[in-house]
Amino acid sequence: MEFADRADAGRRLAGRLGDLRGQDVVVLGLPRGGVPVAFEVARALRAPLDVIVVRKLGVPFQPELAMGAIGEDGVLIVNEEIVRHTGLGESDLGAARRREQAELDARVERFRRGLPRVGLEGRTAVVVDDGVATGATARAACQVARAHGARRVVLAVPVGSPDTMADLRRVADEVVSLQEPELFYAVGQWYREFGQTSDGEVVELLERAAMASSHARPGSAGGGPGGPGPARPPGEGPADPPGAARLMDPPDPPDLDEEVWIDGGFVELTGHLTVPAGAAGIVAFAHGSGSSRHSPRNRQVAAGLNRAGLGTLLFDLLTTGEELDRGNVFDIGLLADRLVAATGWLRDRPETGDARIGYFGASTGAAAALWAAAEPGADIAAVVSRGGRPDLAERRLGDVRAPTLLLVGGEDRQVLDLNRRAQERLRCQNRLTVVPGATHLFEEPGALEAVTGHARDWFDAHMR
């Protein structure tokens, strides 16, 4: 059995864990590669998703041999047998613990962003990885989950070494694997796509799972992709943006919701495509300098568009290596070419080929969106610019044919002036909308919600 990718493996693995649905379960992904698998399991079980961050304590003269492990909240697991046979003492264990604690703390901060871990006391912990070779990390994760109070520990993996899996059955209460091939060399040999999972992807999946969980809880108020926000009593706070009630409706499961790889010419660009059932169109996002497809602001807007029945494509316009050259970040022509390539990729896919395409650009990404929309034969349904720098596409503004909405914060005075001057050069249907009291990043309460409402209405009007 070969898996297309980690998401495919997760969906198949979830089919073997169906008896856990409805039980008090927490799904724990081993970062980083185990999290995309765990995301699909958690979604199928309708269970909360978390990471389980552990660090193996290696024997100083044989690092691959674990004498113990550490987890969050001060959990320490010691393999007394290994310590005794190697002749190590308390000082050796303490030194290894101090050495690994710094890395554990750094990983916890990267993945959790200050949020507490999901409590395991009295619950069933389902520890998920993308595969098991030596099993050292999986063993440590099961031990740490039990130390955190899990009543029952289930280890679930798509593929594993038969000998290792047999050994792990002495650690977990139950071990579930889809295959344990005799000729096992490496986990990656059982996947067609086995690229490295980034820290950003882990954070994105955790936030998406948290948002889905908030929709599933009766009476909860959905926030952005960063998680649920507090409910606001009627009549308090800033006025809701147009159609705000629709923004809070729990979304139907999308027809497409997957990581994608886009042919950008000489490079491959990573993105995430979400298309609700019956979507009127798809909005491709072009982020600004210093940002990426993981931008919490763009993702919050994208989530609002999804709930309104619009598809979204969030993708990186530059590779990680290209981002190191600041010249690329402000090369509007290059960024526009990448957006054009992503548009062609959408039109070449059978699932999205007939969809109308819109652009949502932020900061320098707005310039790229306008530049791409000005290309001959672009046929873009609509463009929305958030805090954009249309001046960076000045010589192409007169060629834009797509209806264009310029959204600017009322306190972002310099950018507001640039947008007013750019508007004079536009020959297409256009509108400049000022969000009162908002600064460049729209961080003020209600500002980004207003952006989402205006953008949604603009795309709705020009895509349906």
Q: Which one of 190, 210, 245 terminates a domain?
A: 190
Residue 213: band (very low, low, confident or very high) from pLDDT cuts 50, 70, 90? low
Three-state secondary structure along 235-271?
CCCCCCCCCHHHHCCCCCCCCEEEEEEEECCCCEEEE
Phi first, then psi, for residue 113 (nearest 5°) are 55, 40
Poorest-pLDDT segment among 239-243, 265-269, 275-279? 239-243
Q: Which one of 172, 190, 208 terminates a domain?
A: 190
Instruction: For tokens 């890395």, name the residue.
Output: 103
Q: Is residue 191 scored above 60 in pLDDT?
A: yes
Q: What mean pLDDT is predicted for residues 148-167?
A: 93
* Helices and strands, number each (H, E), in the chain: 15, 16
End-to-end C-alpha distance for the chain, whole angstroms: 43
Better pLDDT: 422 or 196: 422
Q: Is residue 207 part of a domain?
A: no
Residues 176 and 258 in one domain: no
Q: Is residue 307 part of a domain?
A: yes
Cβ(142)–Cβ(153) under 8 Å? yes
The pLDDT of residue 176 = 96
Q: What pLDDT, in 10s, does the model give residues 389-447?
A: 999 999 999 999 999 999 999 999 999 999 999 999 999 999 999 999 999 989 898 89
The number of folded domains in the chain is: 2
The pLDDT of residue 335 = 94
Q: What mean pLDDT is predicted for residues 79-93?
A: 78
Q: What pLDDT, in 10s, does the model give residues 27-70?
A: 999 988 999 999 999 999 999 999 998 887 877 776 656 677 78
Q: Is residue 462 scored above 80 in pLDDT?
A: yes
Residue 247: band (very low, low, confident or very high) from pLDDT cuts 50, 70, 90? very low
Residues 94 and 180 in one domain: yes
Residues 338 and 433 in one domain: yes
Rg of the chain on CA atoms, in Å = 24
163 in helix, strand or coil? helix
The pLDDT of residue 395 = 92
Residue 38 domain boundaries: 6-190
Residues 91 and 176 in one domain: yes
User: CATH number, domain at 304?
Assistant: 3.40.50.1820
Q: Is residue 178 part of a domain?
A: yes
The pLDDT of residue 166 = 92
Q: What pLDDT, in 10s, does the model give residues 310-338?
A: 999 999 998 877 877 777 888 999 999 99
The pLDDT of residue 112 = 79
Better pLDDT: 290 or 83: 83
Better pLDDT: 234 or 92: 92
Q: Which one of 165, 190, 215 terminates a domain?
A: 190
Residues 177 and 263 in one domain: no
User: What is the chain's mean pLDDT, rounded?
Assistant: 85
Assessment of whether the complete model's pTM goes beyond 0.85: no
The pLDDT of residue 250 = 41
Structure tokens that stand for 334 in this block:
């290059």
Question: How large a percentage of the chain has pLDDT more than 70?
Answer: 89
Residue 253: band (very low, low, confident or very high) from pLDDT cuts 50, 70, 90? low
Q: What mean pLDDT is predicted for residues 117-145?
A: 90
Q: Is residue 181 scored above 60 in pLDDT?
A: yes
The pLDDT of residue 8 = 94
Structure tokens that stand for 390 in this block:
């249309």
CA distance 403 to 461: 10
The pLDDT of residue 223 = 35
Among 237, 203, 202, 205, residue whose Cα is nearest residue 221: 237
The pLDDT of residue 227 = 36
